[in-house]
Amino acid sequence: MNILRLILPLVVLLSVVVFYLRRWWHHRQAGGRPVEQLRREYKQKLGVAGRDGDQIIDDMLRRLKQRYPGRSERWYMEKMLHDLERDRG
């Protein structure tokens, strides 16, 4: 019984620590640049402005969402930027 009194609080404490570490890690991985900033950067690197750039981005987002479902909007935009930079060398 004494062991249970010791182990249970440790398990709860460990669970809380793991929960907050995962939240911190996810936030850290997310970067911090807003999606709109990523959209502007993509249009700038692509060399297209206005509605044409928005249409290209929307088409690419649609394709990526079909291929990689369940990701965040930021993830798709970062993937698009990464692929564009990779392909342009």
Closest to 81 (Cα-Cα) out of 49, 37, 50, 51: 37
Q: What is the pLDDT along the chain (89 residues), one digit of tens a residue?
A: 688 788 888 888 889 888 888 877 766 665 667 888 899 999 999 898 888 889 999 999 999 999 999 998 989 999 999 999 999 87
- Name the token pair of 79: 């993937």
Q: Where are the domains of the chain?
A: 1-30, 35-88
The answer to whether residues 81 and 45 touch, using CB atoms and an 8 Å cutoff, is: yes
CA atoms within 13 A on the CB side of 13: 6
